[in-house]
Amino acid sequence: MQNPRKRGNVMSRIRSGWVGLLLLTLAVLSVTLGCAAFVPPGPPIDSPKLNQELCTGYLPTNELPNSLTLLPPPPAPDSTAFAADQDAYRLTRVLRDTPRWELANEDAALLAETFSCALEAPIGREATPHLYELMVRSRFDAGHATGRAKVYYKRVRPFAMTGEASCTPHDEPKLIQNGSFPSGHAAIGWTWALILSEVAPDRTDALLERGYAFGQSRVICGMHWQSDVDAGRLIAAGVFARLHADPAFRAQVEAARVELADIRSKGLKPTRDCKAEAAALAFTIPGAP
């Protein structure tokens, strides 16, 4: 019979290893999310703590939906589901060196302004500080919520499995050790689409279409399998629901609504090239997701 003290030491080491892996994944996510690079220098807006708060989400990590318990395992290598993942990947290779490939590259940067065309309004720290804070902080909630499943499954990303370059080769060294399942980018993009649809319900269709395309950019880029992206959207739904129990998030949504109404009354438009974005999104493949 195993010595209880020895067994306890083994379990303690296992737990320590798990915590270490989770912290490592969260650290990689923080680098990927680019907090320091994402928040431009400048004075605080509305709150003396805003600069610091923009580097965190609304929720403590332990209050985020648990991706490991919410999601089924990723498709097994010999499954028909993984065959479908491979088919989706192969179909999208024809988009390499097209405007859609370049848009996937832009989407990888996780910039809040990415949704400004769909919103038909500028999104930025100066023009819309409440909306900007809402998106930056929710970005960390959605991204970190994918961490547990990423650590546990350690799924290999398409570019690493196939040896083909992704649309962001500079990201490959730091992401090759970061699990592919579920997609953090897809979780963030779908969370943003849901939040913005609440702020601007009249733009729901355009925002959800852009949020869907944002996730598909990860398949096009070669960074994620289709099932990674689908799972990321499920996590986003859980994060979106959980955020509504947070008073600070709800207050920010209301402030963003007022702010957007003011922006619209002034006739301010997106700063992005919306015609070019629409043209890039028009590149589709028959039979592709």
Q: From CA 179, how far away is CA 67, in angstroms rounded? A: 13
Nearest to 240 by CA among 184, 186, 192: 192
Q: From CA 151, how far away is CA 22, in angstroms rounded? A: 6
Question: What burial letters (b/e) apply to 85-101, b meaning 16+ CB within 10 Å?
Answer: bbebbebbeebeeeebb
Q: Residues 155, 218, 233, 272: which is the catalytic one?
A: 218
Q: Residues 85, 107, 171, 228: which is the catalytic one?
A: 228
Q: From CA 258, how far away is CA 105, in angstroms rounded? A: 32
Q: Residues 185, 203, 210, 272: which is the catalytic one?
A: 185
Distances (CA, A) of 77 to 106, 151, 243: 30, 18, 35
Q: Residues 157, 224, 233, 272: which is the catalytic one?
A: 224
Which residues lie closer than 8 Å to 169 by C-beta, 6 or more apart?
none
CB 55 within 8 A of CB 90: no
DSSP string over 156-196: PPHHHHH----S-GGGHHHHTTS--SS-HHHHHHHHHHHHH
Look at residue 49 and give its three-state secondary structure.
coil
In the residue annotation, 87 being an active-site residue is answered as no
In the residue annotation, 224 being an active-site residue is answered as yes
In the residue annotation, 170 being an active-site residue is answered as no
In the residue annotation, 228 being an active-site residue is answered as yes
CB 280 within 8 A of CB 103: yes
Residue 187 token pair: 């979780």
Q: Which residues are catalytic?
A: 185, 218, 224, 228
